[in-house]
Amino acid sequence: MALSKFLDPRNDLCFKKIFGTEKNKNILIHFLNDILGFTEINAIQEVEFLSTIMDPEVASDKQSIVDVLCKDSIGNRFVIEMQLARDKGFEKRAQLYAAKAYSRQLDKSGNYIDLKKVFFIAISNCNLLPKEVDYISTHNICDIKTNGHYLKDFQFIFIELPKFSKSKVEQLESTVERWCFFFKYAEETTEEDLQKIAEKAPIIKLAYDELDKFRWNEKDLVAYEERIMDLRKEEAILEYRLDLATEKGKKIGKEEGKIEVAKAMLANNVDVNTIVKFTGLSISEIEELSGNL
């Protein structure tokens, strides 16, 4: 029996509730260590949440606010984003926000020697990079000739859920894969599958628990429903604009086709009345084309 009581972790409100609250710091820390491969001495032990507003002057715009921004005990910054839909400029925005998280470390003294590393992690519900790039990819600044990694303060990790092909719990071989399964299939997870996940990765079971709508208060549920409605409105508006653009393109294409036919007929000295009959263009339009030839 499917656990229909679960909400969708790909909704940015759900994502923030799981990974962006003091209450669930432990889930966030485990997620970061698992995705970044930090173990033992390198493992993150503690995080502090920072303001997610990257551009205070346009704070009302969702594009200026990241989902989760925190730093660890040595000052490394972690920007974590849930990308719901394809955004043509997302890769540039990722680099911009990483740069902002880096520069915001500067104090009034302007001492940049102690600037710490910035990790930008994106979990995307759409493909961002070419198909030959794996579902999880890590990007550093490397020398073109030697591939040496000398500029070490920026790292970008993209998790593209559509590319994650495993759809059964029995197929999962690592904690990273279980996190990806959680993001992609939480709403479809069965009780039996949840027990298997809990045995291998108890922390992910806690993430599932946070998605349990029966644990949410009325205020959170109302906010969730409002966010769902907003997303559907955005999808409807985008679809409407695409339809308009398609119709406009067809119309433009049709008109251009008529003009090209008229030009060809004029070049072959076909009389104007015949051109009008075949193209539907007016005599004045055809005369104007003739004057431009």
Q: What is the pLDDT of residues 121-161, one digit of tens each?
A: 999 988 899 999 999 999 999 999 999 999 999 999 999 99
Q: With cut-offs at 50, 70 and 90, classify the pLDDT of residue 75.
A: very high
CA distance 62 to 234: 13
Q: List, in order, residues 6 or more apart from 1 with CB less than 8 Å away.
A: 190, 191
Half-sphere exposure (Cβ direction) of 164: Cα atoms closer than 13 Å: 26
What phi-psi label fits residue 110: left (phi over 0), alpha (psi between -120 and 50 degrees) or beta?
A: left
CA distance 94 to 82: 11
pLDDT at 100: 93
pLDDT at 4: 44
Closest C-alpha to 31, from 9, 53, 63, 5:
9
Whole-number average pLDDT of the chain: 83
pLDDT above 90 for 284: no
- Under DSSP, is residue 190 helix (H, G, I), strand (E, B) or coil? strand
pLDDT of residue 63: 61
Please tell me the pTM assigned to this model: 0.72
CA distances from 98 to 5, 66, 151 (A): 36, 10, 14
Sign of the alpha-carbon torsion through 139, 200, 4, 219:
negative
User: Does the pLDDT of residue 209 top 70, yes or no?
Assistant: yes
pLDDT of residue 78: 97
Structure confidence by residue, pLDDT tens digits, 20-66: 999 999 999 999 999 999 998 999 999 999 988 877 655 455 566 78
Query: Which pLDDT score, from 0 to 100, does residue 250 have?
Result: 56
Distance CA 18, CA 8 (A): 11
pLDDT score for 53: 83
CB 220 within 8 A of CB 213: no
